[in-house]
Copies of this chain bind each other. A is one copy, B any other.
Amino acid sequence: MKARVHVTLKNGVLDPQGKAIGHALGSLGFSGVGEVRQGKFIEIEIAESDAAKAKAQVKDMCEKLLANTVIEDYRIDVDA
Contact = CB atoms under 8 A, between A and B. Distances in A.
A42 to B, nearest CB: 5
A47 B31 contact: yes
B35 A65 contact: no
A52 interface: no
Q: How large is the interface on A (under 10, 10 to 19, 20 to 34, 35 or more residues)?
A: 20 to 34
A23 B41 CA distance: 17
A44 B36 contact: yes
3 A-B pairs with the lowest CB-CB distances in the bound complex, closest first: A32-B47, A34-B45, A41-B41
A67 to B, nearest CB: 12
B34 A46 contact: yes
A36 B41 contact: no
